[in-house]
Amino acid sequence: MHYEARIQAIIEFHAQYRWMKVRKEEARTMNLTKDQFMRVPPWWCRAHIQCWEKMVDVWLEPGWLENHLACRQRRLQIPTAPHHQGSLSLDEYREKWSASHDGRPCSQLKAWVLSKKGKATADIDFNPDDPSEAYSHPSIHSRVSEYTKMAREVHGPDFDPSSEDIDGEIVMKVGGGKKHGRYWIGDGVIDMASTPSLSQIRARSTDLSPAIQPRPTTSQLQMEALQAQVEEARKKQEEMVAQMEEMRRRMEEENQIRMEQMFQYMQNFALSMGQSLPPPPPMLFPPPQPSTTTPNQSVASNNEDQDLSQWSP
């Protein structure tokens, strides 16, 4: 509720004191003074005005609004919703998914993965081999793949991550620790009391233990997504070129058949008149032209037989 309190206060202040209608999209980038905020406390905080004042002080700290807008811009770069839980906790999502799928069991990891694929009532299931397009964000695919790979190294090749709860130690190794207070997988579900810290994991690790992997940065994830888009565009272009070449080949075959049929008809007609026709010439088709040419190149630059005697001393 308090996430929207600042935005709603800005909207109400402009409506009550300035007779202006401010949309929520506009209010997200606006701010008020402390006196203005204190005039429009929310109904659920009017009996505790000191709490409202503390919240206002946080919003008016130097650099808070700039950081808020920067984080908002990063969130806007996410192409889809970060999850499909809505207001449900992960445990509530698990129960709702099980109830909607004939009481099938749902582990912590399975619930976390499914919440990145769709709503609990949707026809979805967990498959470690699903492509990145199946998730709300491409990074989820790499997280699940890395977790599954290391979990099978630790627990054996027959380990089924969809039927087991999240292993906090493996999450720490895969995600390079707990960055910015958040686990790489299943944040808010993992028991922090029973999960060892990164220093504890290093202290008891051996040469045979799976190595601790660095967590990829946002720039690396964006670069990987860009590379995937470039690769997808390259594949589409190759498919288009192959289709055009196949179309050209079929047209040549069809034209050849038509010419042969036409010549056969004319030959039969000539034989019926007591005459004969010479054999038809071979069908010659020009080779396919390249899709691009060299730009900014004059005609004379390609003329190898150009007379240069006038330039000789």
Residue linked to tokens 């977790």:
147
User: Do 16 and 101 have their domain in common?
Assistant: no
The whole-number pLDDT of residue 289 equals 58
SS3 173: helix
pLDDT digits (tens, 9 = 90+) for 52-109: 999 999 888 888 888 888 877 776 666 555 666 677 788 888 888 888 888 888 888 8
Give residue 105's pLDDT: 87
Q: Show the tokens assigned to 80.
A: 């889809």
Number of domains in the chain: 3
Q: Is 95 in the same domain as 196?
A: yes
Structure tokens at 238: 């190759």
CB-neighbour burial class of residue 16 (10 A; exposed 0-12, middle 13-18, buried 19+): exposed
> What pLDDT does 184 receive?
78
Q: Is residue 312 part of a domain?
A: no
> Among 88-92, 129-133, 214-218, 293-297, which is the least confidently predicted range?
293-297
- The letter for the amino acid at 306 is Q
Closest Cα partner for 221 from 146, 150, 152, 113?
146
pLDDT of residue 172: 87
Q: Are 43 and 66 in contact (CB under 8 A)?
A: no
Question: 178 and 125: one domain?
Answer: yes
Domain that holds residue 135: 90-204
- Rounded-to-integer distance, Cα 160 and Cα 124, Å: 18
What does the pLDDT look like over 11-43, one tens digit per residue?
999 999 999 999 988 888 888 999 999 999 998
DSSP bridge partners of 88 = none
Q: What angle do CA 32, 34, 37 make, to 5 degrees?
A: 65
pLDDT of residue 77: 65
Q: Which of 27-36, 245-254, 264-273 has the lowest mean pLDDT?
A: 264-273
Instruction: Give domain status of residue 176, yes or no.
Output: yes
| Same-domain pairing of 182 and 107 | yes
For 179, phi then psi, to 5°, come to -85, 130
* Predicted local distance difference test score (pLDDT) of residue 244: 92
Q: What is the structure's pLDDT at 305?
A: 53
pLDDT score recorded for residue 28: 85
Query: Is 82 within the bounds of a domain?
Result: no
Cβ burial of 246 (10 Å; 0-12, 13-18, 19+) is exposed
Which residue type, as a one-letter code, is found at position 13? F
Q: What is the pLDDT of residue 142?
A: 81
Residue 78, token pair as written in the block: 């996410």
The answer as to whether 177 is a domain residue is yes
pLDDT digits (tens, 9 = 90+) for 204-230: 888 888 888 777 776 776 777 678 778
Instruction: Quote the percentage of the chain above a pLDDT of 70.
Output: 81
In terms of domains, do 96 and 189 share one?
yes
The pLDDT assigned to 242 comes to 92
Q: For 182, phi and psi rounded to 5 degrees?
A: -130, 140
Is the domain of 99 the same as that of 190? yes
What does the pLDDT read at residue 181?
Answer: 79
For 44, what's the count of Cα atoms within 13 Å in the CB-facing half-sphere?
6
Rg (the chain; Cα; Å):
34
Does residue 161 surpass a pLDDT of 60? Answer: yes
Tell me, yes or no, whether 9 and 38 share the same domain. Answer: yes
Length of the chain: 313
pLDDT of residue 13: 93
pLDDT (0 to 100) of residue 12: 92
How far apart (Å, rounded) are the C-alpha atoms in residues 24 and 217?
A: 31
Q: Exposed e or buried b for every residue in 118-129, given b needs 16+ CB within 10 A?
A: bbbeeebebebe
pLDDT of residue 309: 52
